[in-house]
A and B are shown apart, each in its own frame.
Chain A
């Protein structure tokens, strides 16, 4: 059975589509809203904004997060900023230009209508956040300040020092807690969603585990929203939080939700390099640093001199050389690959030659240390804490790392998945960033989806269904709960010889080696064969200590890693079949003479949407053709 991939893009000129869609949507009258129950899973910018906004409208909302508070969601770690087409700088920005930059930045693999809407509502996000008290950076005259980000030639990024994600999330969290106090939202923290329940073709609830007591519970609703983030931790080492996981979207996929473009993963160019095998995660150094930092490697291979003693003539500022128009601010996929190329050719610095310099000395000389400190002080502190080096005196050493996943559950223009009543927001969906996300666009998308899209599209959906009608005694709830119980028992009964992290690390190595920054057919074939072996070994030889009826962090990780062991294979399959290079998906076989990504628009100008057909069966690949009426297909040029 093929998936129904009707994107439901409204007709008419692109500038009027969202207005038209909003007008055409059905409404739920205020007195009826309280009769509907909505579940929101995840409390980051997408989930938290959705829960708060739906609560404000009067729906009964239950919001779940696995952390001890909604304020912990990983949106909090976003550093650099949020884009919006305000054109406060009078430098030529517009909704159309933000739309254009985002489609082009995504290497022509996003849906135009969604991206246009994103650019359109971006301006409202800034207004909303300012009103909530988000302390954005300001100029002396009291107006909002902007900085530049990769892939754009205008300054449209709003920021709160190096803690923009934190401040936006706290604004969202405060709005959410206000609804908790008002009784409109019930917040369930330390809860993990372990199953989606679908009844008569509609998403009707979830099964959760109370992470303190271990109790498995059923939650019934009229609609379910997932704002559970991306799946970057399939690589084990990434800039994601340790708890970030794909279980919610993976469970939904296995219940019938299409999974789109899993191979589109973003490798962020500026992260602190790995220091050892015990490494638990990688730390990002914000892209905003590329405003004032210059990236270089020595012109001599394996140069171990102190970087401060290397003269200008013996430095290769390779981004400025290769991409003079955008220089250090070229998009992430391009900057990452350029760093890999430099290191592969032997010019890398630091242990193992896996690093390049990000140097602030020129900016410090030009602007003064105090200006650099005001702009990036906390980032410099993070760097010094982790590495023990002072970046005011010594160039940072950086290397690319897995950061964000553009792929995710397929959604239509209403942000509804292929399962009616299941909506997917933020990084968890696939819709807006194509094959590469531009910096400062993740915060924009999370909040756009949560504050300004779902409040409309949820109403449109609920207006067409009667509230209630099923409860937790329904056969589907019982079956889903039993499946979760059985799985939990299975994890605890194996009592093998390896830890959960042993398997996760091993999976991460396979993913990074064969499906990382550069991919090829032979490597992917190897990974597609290797991952099922690893999965089989996991189910025979993992050791999960403790019991299910208590707080058990090993058990929590086991469930997440079990799902990553399945998702990793799908990611490699998608990368194998997409025989082109685009954005973050770089296939070595498909590149231009000067090493740039070479798309194949004849055969691959579509979203690949995977359909689950059963365990150990090859999933079906469906496609949604992408049409570009406004931004004409071309090889991206940042030169």
Chain B
């Protein structure tokens, strides 16, 4: 099958980008989308042209590296699927597609379809964890966890941090990503001690990093390759409001002895 691609080419973060048209005459339905791009890149390399840069690693839909827009939709047309797991059997001979990087102020373009998502790491560093040093844990079964809570925590923890939610949101909000972590840890008994602190810090950090806020558009849930639900955002809002009333960052007090 023949596929026509219009791909965003941008040399680096500071240069201007533009759409460039390519043809892939020898795609086939068993290829993944990224394998189709591999074929294009091999061809470009042979011709002495610069291959298209795109992020990818595991190609199993779990590492969260890959992701770009296909015809304006993050990860393309198949629901619940990262672009590395999207196969060409979902396209037709002669289709013309537009590929662009995820666009958000907090995700500056590095090159072509690759963006900088390090803001996500900084949000996690601001509070997306349970403070427990190695070696200080009680027995794993010392604290029973209600199966339902554990399952719901797992639903939220399945987030792969790809950034599709941000790219699809008209406000470029990271609320789905942030709320998934708040929801994962906040639904477990282990996560209660830092629940207010976590919600407060992570939400503020999200704004600091230049992401917008949630206005319940719901695009994020529609494009999330891992089916993360916006009910997590509702949980995040509840935790954040509660934390706003009760949580204060500690000021340095006097030391003991």
Chain A residues proximal to chain B, CB less than 8 Å: 49, 52-53, 56, 67-72, 74, 76-77, 86, 88, 124, 126-133, 135-144, 160-161, 163, 165-167, 170, 173-175, 177-178, 180-181, 187, 189, 212, 241-243, 275-276, 278-281, 283-284, 381-382, 385-386, 388, 451-452, 455, 497, 499, 501-502, 543, 545-546, 550-551, 553-554
Cβ contacts under 8 Å, A136 to chain B:
140, 150
Tell me the bound Cα distance from A489 to B226 in angstroms: 42
- What's the nearest-Cβ distance from chain A to residue B197, in Å? 12
Closest A residue to B28 by beta carbon equals: A276
Instruction: Please tell me if the beta carbons of B62 and A77 are within 8 angstroms of each other in the complex.
Output: yes
| Alpha-carbon distance between A243 and B144 when the two chains are bound, in angstroms | 39
Known: A76-B64, A174-B130, A551-B110. 11 other contacts (CB 8 A): A69-B64, A70-B121, A128-B134, A128-B135, A130-B137, A137-B150, A138-B145, A144-B140, A177-B124, A177-B128, A499-B42
For B243, what are the chain A residues with a Cβ–Cβ distance below 8 Å? none
Whether B158 contacts A554 by the Cβ 8 Å rule is: no
Is B46 in the interface zone, CB < 8 Å from A? yes
For residue B11, which residues in chain A have a CB less than 8 angstroms away from its CB?
550
CB–CB B128/A382 < 8 A: no
- CA A211 to CA B141, docked complex, whole Å: 44
Please state if A499 and B184 are interface contacts (CB–CB under 8 Å): no
Binary contact readout B55-86 vs A (1 if CB under 8 angstroms, 0 otherwise): 11111111111000000000000101100011
Nearest CB in chain A to that of B143: its residue: A130
Task: Name A127's closest neighbour in chain B (CB-CB).
Answer: B137
A47 CA to B231 CA in the complex, in Å? Answer: 34
Quick check: A142 and B145 within 8 Å, CB to CB? yes
Residues from chain B with Cβ under 8 Å of A275 in the complex: 30
CA of A212 to CA of B124, assembled, Å:
23
> B38 touching A551 by the CB < 8 A rule?
no
Contacts of A88 in B (CB 8 A): 141
**Contact call B110/A212, Cβ cutoff below 8 A:** yes
User: What are 10 A-B pairs with beta-carbon distances under 8 A?
Assistant: A56-B133, A74-B57, A131-B136, A135-B154, A174-B129, A189-B118, A241-B63, A243-B57, A499-B45, A554-B45
B35, CB-defined interface residue at 8 Å: yes
Complex alpha-carbon distance, A137 and B153, angstroms: 11
Report the nearest B residue to A50, measured CB to CB.
B134
Whether the Cβ atoms of A133 and B188 lie closer than 8 Å is: yes
Size bracket, chain B contacts: 35 or more
Q: A142 and B38 in contact (CB under 8 A), knowing A135-B154, A386-B87?
A: no
For B55, B110, B158, which residue has the most chain A Cβ atoms within 10 angstroms? B158
Is the beta-carbon distance between B56 and A242 smaller than 8 angstroms? yes
Given contacts A131-B132, A178-B129, contact A142 B117 (CB under 8 A): no
Which residues of chain A have C-beta atoms less than 8 A from B154's C-beta?
A: 135, 160-161, 167
A72 and B34 contact, CB distance less than 8 A: no
Bound together, the chains give a CA A70 to CA B122 distance in angstroms of 12
- Taking A133-B188, A280-B38 as contacts, is the C-beta distance between A452 and B157 under 8 angstroms? no
Return the CB mask of B86-117 against A: 1 if under 8 Å, else 0.
11010000000000000000000011001011
In the bound complex, residues from chain A placing their C-beta under 8 Å from that of B151 are 135
A135 touches B35 (CB 8 A): no
A497 CA to B48 CA, complexed, in Å: 9
A553→B134 contact, CB < 8 A: no
Q: Are B35 and A382 in contact (CB under 8 A)?
A: no
CA distance A351 to B144 in the complex (A): 49
Of B38, B55, B62, B137, most buried by chain A (CB within 10 Å of CB) is B62
The CA-CA distance from A381 to B86 in the complex, in Å, is 12
Structural contact, B39 and A128, CB atoms closer than 8 A: no
Residue picked from A53, A68, A142, A551, most chain B C-beta under 10 Å? A68
- A242 CB to closest chain B CB (Å) equals 6
With A135-B150, A177-B124 given, is the CB distance from A72 to B57 under 8 Å? yes
CB distance from B138 to the nearest CB of A (A): 7
Minimum distance in angstroms from A207 CB to a CB of chain B: 22
Contact assessment for A280 and B59 in the assembled complex, using a CB-CB cutoff below 8 Å: yes
For the complex, is B12 an interface residue (Cβ under 8 Å from A)? yes
Known: A163-B62, A545-B45. Is A133-B185 also a contact (CB below 8 A)? yes
- Does B49 interact with chain A (Cβ within 8 Å)? yes
Q: Which residues of A contact B30 (CB under 8 A)?
A: 275-276
Q: Are A69 and B50 in contact (CB-based, < 8 A)?
A: no
Q: How far apart sit A165 and B45, CA to CA, in the bound complex (Å)?
A: 35
CB pair A553–B128 under 8 Å, yes or no, is no
- Cβ–Cβ contact A72 & B32, under 8 A: no
Among A69, A128, A133, A388, point to the contact of B118 (Cβ < 8 A).
A69
The answer to whether A68 and B118 have CB atoms under 8 Å apart is yes
Indicate which residue in A71, A137, A178, A385 contacts B131 across the interface (CB closer than 8 Å).
A178
Is the beta-carbon distance between A554 and B130 smaller than 8 angstroms?
no
Contact B111 A551 (CB under 8 A): yes
A88 to chain B, nearest CB (A): 6
**Are B134 and A452 closer than 8 Å at their CB atoms?**
yes
Is residue B146 within 8 Å, beta carbon to beta carbon, of the partner chain?
A: yes
A281 to B35, CA, bound (A): 9
A212 surroundings in chain B (CB, below 8 A): 110
Report whether B53 and A142 are in contact in the complex, using a CB–CB cutoff of 8 Å: no
B31 interface contact, C-beta 8 A: yes
Contact of B191 with A by CB under 8 A: yes
The residue from A67, A127, A180, A187 contacting B65, defined by CB atoms under 8 A apart: A67
Inter-subunit contact A181/B46 (CB<8 Å): no
- With contacts A388-B89, A546-B50 taken as known, whether A382 is within 8 angstroms of B60 at the C-beta atoms is yes
A382 to B28, CA, bound (A): 19
B64 near A71: Cβ-Cβ < 8 Å: yes
Is B139 an interface residue when CB atoms closer than 8 A count as contact? yes
